[in-house]
Amino acid sequence: MVPLSWYIVLSAIVFSIGMFGFLVRRNLIIIFLSIELMLNAVNISLVAFSHYLQSINGQILVFFVITVAAAEAAIGLAILIAFYRNKPTVEADEINLLKG
Amino acid sequence: MSVPQFFFGYFAVMLIGLSIMVVTRKNPVHSVILMLVLFVHIAGVYLFLNAEFLAAIQIIIYAGAILVMFLFVIMLLDLKKEVTERRFLKPWPLGLVVAGTFMVFITAVLGKLTVFPEPGKYSIDRIQAEGMMMTIGKVLYTEYLLPFEIASLILLVAIIGAIVLAKKRLE
């Protein structure tokens, strides 16, 4: 039997790795991938709680998180394309069009 | 070490290793392909936790829709210059320290977690008797009806927003 805390620790580690990628990467596409990674880490912990507490609510919440993640990825990538038309780069530190 | 613990170890090693590789690859296409493998493993963890509906959703929506969208965007953009330059921002050790501190604290706090009070009514036997889809559908369309409708509104906003943002300006 695998204890609940193992799943939570696994989820925390994956979340931290996603946080690291979000903080330090220059490529905006990989920053979006890091956000997806963090959302998935939270999903793992929600499903683990749902299983160990024998409640279905965690799985419903994961369903909604996946919905929001899909919407977020669509909007984010659309903004990326719209920006690329103004300045052809996807590097986070070169996006400075509003700087005086 | 029992068999479930062995499988959990396999999934844990693969998840951590693959996520480290996803955030450190130079070429975004490689990152997306590794992310695909990662999502399949997360679906495996869901199966392990008796959430077969979510495992299917994970494969269909994440691997089938979101990652394909990422690949399309990468192929639309011309990223030859970016893959030869440095991959991290200048103050990247600071980010490593922040994320590492977060990880140490949260694992120290949550590592001792155990299951508390009395379990709820959705035991494995009941879900098996009723069927996974039936159980989730009943809860989703009664207790969570309003959030479900709001989710459809969010998706509508995302559709319209993505089209408006990404289409060319008409003169």
More confident residue, B78 or A5: A5
Q: Which pLDDT belongs to residue B170?
A: 66
Answer yes or no: is pLDDT of B6 > 80. yes
Tokens of B115: 């299951």
State the pLDDT at residue B167.
83
What pLDDT does residue A53 have? Answer: 87
A55-69, B75-89, B138-152: least confidently modelled range: B75-89
pTM over 0.95: no
Given a cut of 70, whether residue B171 has pLDDT beyond it is no
Q: What is the pLDDT along chain A (100 residues), one digit of tens a residue?
A: 788 889 999 999 999 999 999 999 888 899 999 999 999 999 999 999 998 888 888 899 999 999 999 999 999 999 988 888 888 888 888 888 887 6
Q: Do A93 and B90 touch (CB under 8 A)?
A: yes
Would you identify the CATH topology of the domain B3-114?
Answer: Four Helix Bundle (Hemerythrin (Met), subunit A) (1.20.120)
Looking at domain A4-88, does it have CATH number 1.10.287.3510? yes
Distance from CA of B171 to the nearest CA of A (A): 15
Band (pLDDT 50/70/90 cuts) for residue B153 is very high
Q: Which residues contact B35 (CB under 8 A, 6 or more apart)?
A: A33, A36, A37, B18, B22, B67, B70
Task: Determine how many CB atoms are found less than 10 A away from the CB of residue A6.
Answer: 16
Report chain B residues whose CB lies below 8 A from the CB of A69.
62, 66
Q: Where are the domains of chain A?
A: 4-88
- A34 CA: distance to closest CA in chain B (Å): 7
When CB atoms are compared, the residue of B89, B110, B115 closest to A53 is B115
If phi over 0 gives left and psi between -120 and 50 gives alpha, with beta otherwise, what is residue A54? Answer: left
Mean pLDDT value of segment B62-74: 90
Across the interface, which of A14, A48, A66 has its CB nearest the CB of B19?
A14
Task: Measure CB to CB from residue B139 to each of A56, A73, A90 and give the nearest one.
Answer: A56
Contact indicator for B82, A16 with CB cutoff of 8 Å: no
What pLDDT is stored for residue A27 in this prediction? Answer: 87
A51 burial (CB, 10 Å; 0-12 / 13-18 / 19+) is buried
More confident residue, B170 or B23: B23
Closest CA to B70 of B29, B39, B19: B29
A contacts of B66 (beta carbons < 8 Å): 36, 69-70, 73
Q: Which of A35, A44, A99 is nearest to A72 (CA)?
A: A35
Q: How many contacts does A have with B, using Cβ atoms within 8 A? A: 239
**Per-residue pLDDT at B82 exceeds 70:** no
- Annotated domain spans of chain B: 3-114, 123-171
Q: How far is B54 from chain A (nearest CA, A)?
A: 7
**A-chain residues within 8 Å CB-CB of B86?**
26
- pLDDT, mean of residues B25-43: 92
pLDDT computed for residue B111 by the predictor: 80
